[in-house]
Amino acid sequence: MIEVSPLEKAILDDVQRKTGLGFPRVEGINTRDGAVARAVLPVLAGWVGRLDDPRYREAVYSRFHTQFAHAHFETILQWWTNEADSSAAALLTQVVASTLACEDAPRVWKLCHERYIGFFRHLLLAKLADCPAVSRDVREELLLDLRTKDVERLDLVSISRVEDPGIRDWFLGQVNSSDRFVRMVAKKVAARTKALPRGLDKSLAPPNRQTELFSTECDLDQVKPLLGKLAEDFQLRLPATLRKAEFVWSLESDCWTTVKVATTAADVATLWFRMEDSSTVEVLLLRGDTAAKPAGPN
């Protein structure tokens, strides 16, 4: 059984007393559930000013990392402005990015220049870039950072998601970068507007692994040699558009993409692909036709 500190137990007891909901840990409170968030977040908000240890504040802050926390946005901004601990402040930057609405953008943009923001600054700016009131200024600053600063890897991923001609052109100029990570992010930007090759379709349902022949996770730039080896080992007849593996750069996170392939033995198999993170893709080979069926006309 997991033991909790007396302070964490006091928080959990307060939550249960005021909401009727019991949880084993503060970080186990599922505020991605709207009903839970609406009940619990007001109680947790009342504890922040009583928590001297930043580790406990982080645990509470983390529960506000949900779309259902916008009702507490004014309070979140106050925490973000006053938080002295760098780790807790970084978490709050993520919380601000996940909860802000475009009506909040001018105030947040102003705060971005009034206080030091360490980690996740570009994550927040990328979110602000979608808000019309500040979009132009934010995108100009992001492009300037790309051109003049040594931007961290995770920040590059955040900036790469911003739809802007100048930002896109910067990334297109990096498709042959000597830095492997920069090169992969740039290739994903370049592939964003390209349609999936014929035969590949997105699947809303996960694969049924009972017929699994092969599975692995590999870097994006290793998918091409992997498909060549699978074709040889399992006698797959892969069309040229599939063998080139250029489609992997346009795959979406947390979404399976499938394609039916024939074998030299006149059998059928299905390849499944899913992005695990910005540079890694999961590849499955299943026996039979398990591919997603394309949607019909409305």
CA distances from residue 166 to 148, 159, 195, 200, 268 in whole angstroms, order as listed = 14, 11, 22, 31, 45
Mean pLDDT of the chain: 90
Instruction: Please give the average per-residue pLDDT across 54-64, as a whole number.
Output: 96
Residues paired with 262 in a beta bridge:
237, 268
CATH 3.40.1130 is held by the domain 201-287: no
- CA nearest 134: which of 169, 104, 90? 104
Q: What is the pTM of this model?
A: 0.73
Q: 76: which 2 tokens?
A: 């979140």
| Residue 11 pLDDT greater than 50, yes or no | yes
Task: Quote the CA–CA distance of 192 and 154 in Å, as a whole number.
Answer: 18
Domain ranges of the chain: 6-191, 201-287
Q: 149: which 2 tokens?
A: 């600063």
- CA nearest 67: which of 46, 41, 47, 48? 41
Q: Residues in the chain, how many?
A: 298
Q: What is the 3-state secondary structure (H, E, C) of 25-77?
A: CHHHCCCCCHHHHHHHHHHHHCCHHHCCCHHHHHHHHHCCCCHHHHHHHHHHH
- CA nearest 128: which of 118, 115, 116, 137? 137
The pLDDT value recorded for residue 293 is 67
Q: What phi and psi, each to the nearest 5 degrees, are found at residue 97?
A: -60, -35
Contact (CB, 8 A) for 108 and 128: yes
Contact (CB, 8 A) for 258 and 292: yes
Q: What is the bridge-based pairing of β-strands 256-263 and 268-275?
A: antiparallel
pLDDT band for 2, please (50, 70, 90 cuts).
low
Q: What is the bridge-based pairing of β-strands 256-263 and 212-219?
A: unpaired
Which of 19-33, 189-203, 217-231 is predicted least confidently? 189-203
Which of 8-22, 169-183, 254-268 is predicted least confidently? 254-268
